[in-house]
């Protein structure tokens, strides 16, 4: 039974569901399904529906309609709404016809004039909505009537004259009825418009501004975007695009009917929302608009074919609009709940039986109170010193949760200053050969601080893996690092699926979500060297110049990875079955290594790790505070040999003096302790340790860099 569970969780990609749903493009599944459904339905009813002639005609309509829907989608994306597109469409139609038929202008001038008229209408809307901040819905509803009235007045005067004249331009008819490469011209233009706007919305600055304004107007303003101008421009573009569609309509039919574009705004709005563009902005794409356009066009066309009366068909369209808006509103409101339910995907993991830790058991893990006597540095003055490190002048450095690196001045470590501000949450630190402080920053990546306090970004991304659904190129949680003798920086990224403060979710999953990454300062390249690790944490060079040790926190083990030499690329477990969760690893003066256990295993959680279903139910049904957590209230410091033999352990049973240990650093006969959630740094005198030994000198040689 358990073997079946193990195989299921090993090979069945359960986490994919949540990852796919967390992608914005997954919204497109529903409209895409609707397209297939509608096409299938009408194909079954009427096989002649997709004849070549009908398709050509449909594709011309589709071209015009989808341009209008794309325009609507752009405005929606920025949090607005443009109901005047139908009237602008009609106005463009009549403008083009007047220019061609009555004024006899060339096609290019006609096109320019038409687009300009559309952009002008859009500019009026944009001014009222963007700069004067009137409600988009009412404003465009009113401009819809105003423009429609203008069209009616023009029609009254010129309709007869227009229908009497026939423009003398082959190119004009080519626009309306011609084919290029077997496809209608307007269809090709529509495709060009769609592609261009797709690129603009997803890749260009303007498109990002649009999305930002739609997603959070005030945040966009606070970020320094020109919100009013961005909103204004969306309406200008919307007007111009609607006018472009009207231009093709004019070239295709050449008729100045009074019902041109009537109801187009509702159809376009229905299409845009049906495609998945959100009312209220921030969520939408060109692809969504096009999908929606296809569905609505087939729907309306088919209703005409079947012979449903105008009243009923508008009622049906209204019903569809209601339905899609309702779905949109509910989806937006509940999406994160669904995502919460499916994203967390626990996996099967079996740990060996826990080693003995009882006092007096003779085990190297036997409980004692050796950490109780630590003296404290900076108590109550610092927050979250995950790691501690010393420079050559014996000054102590630690990060805090505000994104600073704090420097305590030796030798008594009473006075301190902010050495540098990075941001994020700085975690592991290491000095390189030139005394630069290299820091892993949770949420930001790998940074370097030079001795004169200049902060430089080394890297914040790595190569994206080919088949990964979520974007794993960004560094979400760079954790700890060490530097090879040749200058290469090896660092761990604890998890690619969660942000730093959601580490408990990763613990719950206990899948290998983390990885080891190498940054090479010689050519600035970053690449992933080892994947699928269970929360890789502390990294420490083994001292042979070709391998390093690293801890897998949720795996309760310490591994050794060879990056050079004969065993290059191999990874072996050094300490397999720890009684707790290992964090940072550092060198000891006697040639061994220190490792901090940030928390201790418990039989209940160990058992739960073998029951992924239980943990899944736990994650979806009860509050995070009530979960089975890894116990991070009690921890200890261990010393182990390069071969993996654990020599001794130091505990603080009451947890009063130094409640949590995530890191320790030996420096001149003392051991200094850091803790992620502590407000202090601990200092413990070590019996028999070399009083002159410093990690910095030992690894990089004497003060002048000579070894």
Partner 1 sequence: MSDTTADKLPPNGAEQKSRKSFVFTQELIVAIAAAVLFVFFSLTLDNFLLPGNLVTLVRNVAVLGLLSLGMAVVVIGRGVDLSLVAVMAVSLTVAIVLANEGMGFAEALLVGLGFVVLVAVVLGFLVAYVEIPSIFATLAVASIVYGLGRGVIADLDVNNIPNGLDWFLFLGRGAIFGIPVSIWIFALTALVLYLFLRWTGIGRFIYALGDNLQTARITGIPVRPIIVLQYVISGVMAFLAGAVTAASVASMNMRIVNSTVIYDVLLVVVLGGIGLTGGRGGVRNVVVGTALIGLLLNAMTIMDISYTVQNLIKSAVLLLALVVDALLNPRDEQTAQQGDI
User: How many positions of this chain bind partner 1 (CB under 8 A)?
Assistant: 48
Residue 130 or residue 443: which is nearer to partner 1 going by CB? 130
> Segment contacting partner 1 (CB under 8 A): 128-136, 168-176, 346-354, 375-383?
128-136
What the block records as the tokens of 601 is 């295993």
| Rounded distance between C-alpha atoms, residue 388 and residue 294, angstroms | 61
| Rounded distance between C-alpha atoms, residue 20 and residue 24, angstroms | 8
SS3 309: coil
> Segment contacting partner 1 (CB under 8 A): 49-57, 237-245, 315-323, 362-370?
315-323
What the block records as the tokens of 463 is 């190569």
Q: What is the DSSP string of 417-441?
A: EEEEE--SEEEEEEE-TT-PEEEEE
In order of 68, 238, 517, 689, the CA distances from 84 in angstroms are 11, 9, 54, 81
> Segment contacting partner 1 (CB under 8 A): 15-23, 55-63, 327-335, 456-464?
327-335
Task: Confirm or reject binding of residue 559 to partner 1 (CB under 8 A).
Answer: no
> Segment contacting partner 1 (CB under 8 A): 205-213, 291-299, 319-327, 575-583?
319-327
Q: Which residues of 93-128 are buried (b: 16+ CB within 10 A; e: fewer)?
A: bbbbbbbbbeeebebeebbebbbebbbbbbbbbbbb
> Segment contacting partner 1 (CB under 8 A): 317-325, 501-509, 603-611, 662-670?
317-325
- Long-range contacts at 410-414 (CB < 8 A, ≥ 24 apart): 413/377, 413/378, 413/681, 413/683
SS3 561: strand
Residue 218 or residue 337: which is nearer to partner 1 going by CB? 218
Nearest approach in angstroms of CB 86 to partner 1 is 13
Nearest approach in angstroms of CB 64 to partner 1 is 22
Rule CB under 8 A: which of 130-149 touch partner 1? 132-139, 141-143, 145-146, 148-149
Task: Confirm or reject binding of residue 325 to partner 1 (CB under 8 A).
Answer: yes
Residue 332 or residue 469: which is nearer to partner 1 going by CB? 332
Nearest approach in angstroms of CB 144 to partner 1 is 9
Cα diameter, the chain: 109
CB of 568 within 8 A of CB of 547?
no
What the block records as the tokens of 121 is 């209408």
Nearest approach in angstroms of CB 284 to partner 1 is 13
Task: Confirm or reject binding of residue 331 to partner 1 (CB under 8 A).
Answer: no
| Rounded distance between C-alpha atoms, residue 658 and residue 680, angstroms | 8
| Rounded distance between C-alpha atoms, residue 419 and residue 448, angstroms | 13
- Spell out, one character per residue from 207 to 226, where the chain touches partner 1: x when CB under 8 A holds, - when not: ----------xx--------
Find, among 549, 564, 510, 560, the residue nearest to 533 by Cα: 510
CB of 496 within 8 A of CB of 513?
yes
Nearest approach in angstroms of CB 42 to partner 1 is 21
Residue 316 or residue 366: which is nearer to partner 1 going by CB? 316
Residue 157 or residue 621: which is nearer to partner 1 going by CB? 157
Determine the number of helices (DSSP H) and then strands (DSSP E) in the chain.
19, 26
Nearest approach in angstroms of CB 234 to partner 1 is 12
Nearest approach in angstroms of CB 426 to partner 1 is 35
Q: Phi and psi of 657, rounded to 5°?
A: -80, -40
| Rounded distance between C-alpha atoms, residue 76 and residue 282, angstroms | 8
| Rounded distance between C-alpha atoms, residue 24 and residue 37, angstroms | 22
Options 19, 57, 152, 394; binder of partner 1; rule CB under 8 A? 152
Residue 315 or residue 418: which is nearer to partner 1 going by CB? 315
What the block records as the tokens of 333 is 């409101």
Find, among 484, 473, 481, the residue nearest to 440 by Cα: 481
Identify the sign of the CA torsion 234, 237, 241, 242.
positive
Residue 129 or residue 420: which is nearer to partner 1 going by CB? 129
CB neighbours of residue 467 within 10 Å: 5
Nearest approach in angstroms of CB 272 to partner 1 is 12
What the block records as the tokens of 348 is 């099967």
Task: Confirm or reject binding of residue 195 to partner 1 (CB under 8 A).
Answer: no
Nearest approach in angstroms of CB 494 to partner 1 is 34
Gyration radius of the chain's alpha carbons? 33
Identify the sign of the CA torsion 384, 388, 392, 393.
positive
7 Cβ partners below 8 Å, 6+ apart? none
Options 18, 73, 80, 443; binder of partner 1; rule CB under 8 A? 80
CB of 397 within 8 A of CB of 391?
yes
Options 48, 106, 319, 591; binder of partner 1; rule CB under 8 A? 319
Task: Confirm or reject binding of residue 7 to partner 1 (CB under 8 A).
Answer: no
Options 150, 200, 366, 529; binder of partner 1; rule CB under 8 A? 150
Options 61, 101, 186, 313; binder of partner 1; rule CB under 8 A? 313
- Spell out, one character per residue from 156 to 175, where the chain touches partner 1: x when CB under 8 A holds, - when not: x-------------------
Options 73, 79, 346, 579; binder of partner 1; rule CB under 8 A? 79
Q: Which helix (H) or strand (E) holds 482?
A: strand 478-483
- Spell out, one character per residue from 416 to 455, where the chain touches partner 1: x when CB under 8 A holds, - when not: ----------------------------------------
Task: Confirm or reject binding of residue 259 to partner 1 (CB under 8 A).
Answer: no
- Spell out, one character per residue from 357 to 396, where the chain touches partner 1: x when CB under 8 A holds, - when not: ----------------------------------------
What the block records as the tokens of 241 is 């695009």
Q: Helices in 78-169 by DSSP H: which ranges? A: 85-97, 107-126, 136-164
Pairing assessment for the beta strands 525-533 and 514-520 based on DSSP bridges: antiparallel
Nearest approach in angstroms of CB 259 to partner 1 is 11
Torsion angle defined by CA atoms of residues 264, 270, 276 and 278, in that order, rounded to the nearest 10 degrees: 90
End-to-end CA distance of the chain: 58
Residue 81 or residue 377: which is nearer to partner 1 going by CB? 81
Task: Confirm or reject binding of residue 329 to partner 1 (CB under 8 A).
Answer: yes
Options 38, 200, 266, 339; binder of partner 1; rule CB under 8 A? 266
Nearest approach in angstroms of CB 292 to partner 1 is 15
Task: Confirm or reject binding of residue 120 to partner 1 (CB under 8 A).
Answer: no
Nearest approach in angstroms of CB 311 to partner 1 is 3
In order of 72, 383, 434, 513, 692, the CA distances from 696 in angstroms are 62, 25, 11, 32, 11
Task: Confirm or reject binding of residue 314 to partner 1 (CB under 8 A).
Answer: yes
Residue 266 or residue 614: which is nearer to partner 1 going by CB? 266
Residues in the chain: 707
Task: Confirm or reject binding of residue 658 to partner 1 (CB under 8 A).
Answer: no
Nearest approach in angstroms of CB 257 to partner 1 is 15
Task: Confirm or reject binding of residue 576 to partner 1 (CB under 8 A).
Answer: no
Find, among 541, 491, 539, the residue nearest to 516 by Cα: 491
Task: Confirm or reject binding of residue 312 to partner 1 (CB under 8 A).
Answer: yes
Residue 149 or residue 179: which is nearer to partner 1 going by CB? 149
Nearest approach in angstroms of CB 134 to partner 1 is 4
| Rounded distance between C-alpha atoms, residue 393 and residue 387, angstroms | 18
Rule CB under 8 A: which of 403-422 touch partner 1? none
For partner 1, the binding residues (CB under 8 A) are: 79-81, 128, 132-139, 141-143, 145-146, 148-150, 152-153, 156, 217-218, 266, 278-280, 309-319, 321-322, 325-326, 329-330, 332-333
């Amino acid at each position: 039974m358990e073997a079946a569970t193990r195989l299921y969780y090993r090979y069945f990609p359960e986490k994919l569901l949540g990852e796919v749903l967390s992608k914005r493009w997954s919204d497109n599944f529903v409209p895409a399904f609707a397209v297939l459904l509608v096409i299938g339905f009408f194909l079954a009813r009427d096989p002649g529906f997709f004849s070549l002639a009908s398709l050509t005609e449909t594709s011309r309509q589709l071209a015009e309609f989808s341009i209008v829907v794309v325009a609507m989608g752009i405005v929606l994306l920025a949090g607005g709404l443009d109901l005047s597109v139908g009237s602008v469409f009609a106005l463009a139609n009549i403008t083009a016809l007047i220019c061609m038929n009555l004024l006899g202008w060339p096609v290019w001038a006609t096109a320019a004039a038409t687009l300009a008229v559309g952009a002008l209408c859009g500019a009026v809307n944009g001014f009222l909505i963007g700069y004067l901040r009137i409600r988009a819905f009412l404003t465009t509803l009113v401009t819809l009537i105003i423009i429609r009235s203008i069209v009616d007045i023009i029609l009254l005067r010129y309709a007869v004259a227009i229908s009497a004249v026939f423009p003398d331009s082959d190119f004009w008819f080519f626009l309306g009825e011609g084919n290029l490469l077997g496809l209608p011209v307007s269809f090709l233009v529509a495709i060009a418009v769609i592609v261009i706007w797709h690129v603009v919305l997803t890749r260009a600055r303007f498109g990002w501004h649009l999305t930002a304004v739609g997603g959070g107007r005030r945040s966009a303003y606070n970020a320094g975007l020109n919100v009013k101008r961005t909103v204004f421009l969306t309406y200008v573009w919307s007007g111009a695009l609607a006018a472009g569609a009207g231009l093709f309509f004019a070239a295709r039919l050449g008729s100045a009917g009074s019902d041109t574009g009537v109801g187009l705004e509702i159809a376009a709005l229905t299409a845009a929302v049906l495609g998945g563009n959100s009312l209220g902005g921030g969520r939408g794409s060109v692809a969504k608009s096009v999908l929606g356009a296809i569905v609505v066009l087939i729907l309306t066309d088919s209703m005409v074919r079947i012979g449903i009366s105008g009243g009923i068909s508008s009622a049906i369209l209204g019903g569809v609009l209601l339905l899609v808006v309702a779905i949109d509103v509910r989806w937006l409101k509940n999406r994160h709940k669904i995502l919460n339910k499916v994203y967390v995907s626990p996996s099967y993991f079996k740990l060996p039986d826990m080693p003995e830790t009882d006092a007096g058991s003779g085990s190297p893990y036997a409980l004692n109170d050796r950490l109780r006597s630590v003296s404290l540095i900076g108590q109550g003055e610092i927050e979250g010193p995950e790691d501690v490190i010393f420079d050559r002048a014996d000054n102590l450095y630690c990060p805090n949760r505000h994104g600073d690196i704090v420097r305590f001045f030796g030798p008594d470590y009473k006075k301190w200053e902010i050495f540098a501000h990075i941001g994020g949450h700085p975690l592991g630190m290491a000095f390189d050969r030139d005394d630069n402080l290299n820091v892993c920053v949770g949420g930001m990546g790998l940074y370097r601080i030079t001795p004169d306090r200049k902060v430089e970004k080394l890297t914040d991304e790595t190569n994206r893996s080919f088949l990964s659904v979520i974007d794993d190129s960004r560094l979400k949680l760079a954790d700890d690092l060490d530097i090879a003798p040749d200058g290469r920086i090896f660092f761990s990224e604890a998890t690619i699926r969660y942000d730093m403060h959601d580490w408990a979710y990763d613990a719950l999953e206990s899948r290998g979500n983390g990885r080891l990454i190498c940054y090479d300062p010689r050519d600035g390249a970053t690449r992933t060297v080892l994947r699928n690790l269970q929360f890789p944490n502390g990294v420490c060079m083994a001292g042979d110049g070709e391998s390093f040790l690293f801890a897998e926190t949720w795996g309760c083990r310490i591994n050794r990875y060879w990056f050079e030499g004969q065993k290059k690329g191999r990874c072996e477990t050094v300490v397999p079955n720890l009684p707790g969760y290992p964090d940072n690893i550092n060198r000891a003066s006697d040639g061994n290594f220190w490792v901090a256990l940030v928390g201790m295993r418990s039989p209940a959680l160990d058992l739960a790790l073998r029951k992924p279903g239980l943990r899944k139910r736990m994650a979806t049904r009860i509050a995070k505070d009530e979960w089975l957590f890894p116990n991070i209230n009690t921890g200890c410091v261990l010393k182990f040999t390069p071969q993996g033999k654990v020599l001794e352990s130091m505990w603080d049973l009451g947890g009063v003096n130094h409640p949590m240990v995530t890191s320790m650093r030996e420096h001149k006969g003392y051991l200094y302790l850091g803790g992620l959630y502590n407000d202090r740094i601990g200092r413990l005198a070590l019996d028999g340790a070399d009083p002159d030994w410093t990690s910095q000198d030992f690894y990089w040689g004497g003060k002048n860099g000579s070894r």
